[in-house]
Chains A and B, each alone.
Chain A
Amino acid sequence: MSNVGIVIVSHSPDVAKGAADMVRQMVGEEVPLAWCGGNGEGGLGTDVAAIMQAIDRAWSEAGVAILVDLGGAETNSEMAIELLPEERQGRVVVCNAPIVEGAVVAATEASGGSSLEVVRATAEELSP
């Protein structure tokens, strides 16, 4: 698929899945979408390996926009990006936007075929 992919990273798998459900219902199947949440032991947290796998599932040649909730999700997402193969690193961004609204808005923009830069900018308009 040539549309930008969306990845949702929350400390809670329930929040991540819920946000992804909202994206699917409101935007449909036009964008690659993946989510992850929780640490490796089923508790709250974020997991670099799981984020890397989610990026892989949502991969698009147009790039991937990540939406995060709290601090560790952002730090771990940036770490995950740095551990990707070099040719992919420049095509994944973390959006500074609220996780639920940001995911829906980014996916809506992506479904129209916008570039990664435009998808990110549209999501970030939500953060004053």
Chain B
Amino acid sequence: MRLKFCYLLLAILTAGLISESQDTFRFAIIGDTGTGGSGEYQIAEKLTGSVKEFPFDTVLMLGDNIYGGETPSDFRKKFEKPFQGLLTAGVKFYATLGNHDQPPRQIDYKHFNMGGKRYYSFKPKADVRFFSLDSNYMDPEQLAWLEKELKMSGSDWKIVFFHHPIYSSGEKHGSNLELREILEPVMVRNGVDVVLTGHEHFYERIKPQKGINYFIIGSSAKLREGNIGKTELTGKGFDADNVFMLAQIAGNNLTFRVITRKGAVVDSGTIQRAERARKQSSALK
């Protein structure tokens, strides 16, 4: 009887674990990586190491994926070589274009999974959809596409990623107000949960703006030390080392950790989807 009870308990626990892992989607985020320098290689090594304890199969690249030349050897040195371990393990990278990226070379490159398009969306899991935009060239057609895609998307989680931050405390660049003026209304109107950007070579978590959570992760290779100015926008800022982000979506929660190349966790937290509707309605008031 006792043995039967133990088996039953084990079965319940195992079922719970299996269902949790099936419902969980894990991904990593890197930005402004393509230098081919030591910062990129160290971040790539740390990221590759973290896949054992945090098994993710998707990496988002937030632009400036290949700096300088984009010859075949540049692709090897600045992407394939540092991320070889993850590529071999079958991890898929999804890139967005930065101001240092050449669309003709990158949109067709298989490892960037852009499907030959400057802007695209993909759905890695039933209730999660990502939208990659080309913020270098936000023409009316792209904006109309985003509005349509967001509207059509039945996904519960809507995560948009592009290169130029529309909220930033960076002293070098700061918020891109032009882009904010046209993108923010579309994203608020259509219930975007999270926006991921790069461009600024530091990490910043912006306090939620009109119900949307903004992150800047632009220091996965380059670093602009001490560049985060004092503003009311910052939820958490870190500009002392290179970082990447690990994130996990499970039901209504998105949990994240921001990790340096030395392995220190500099920010972490949970975003709850349930808060979205409330935040949106208060933002609209």
A binds B: no
**A-binding residues in B (CB < 8 A):** none
**B-binding residues in A (CB < 8 A):** none
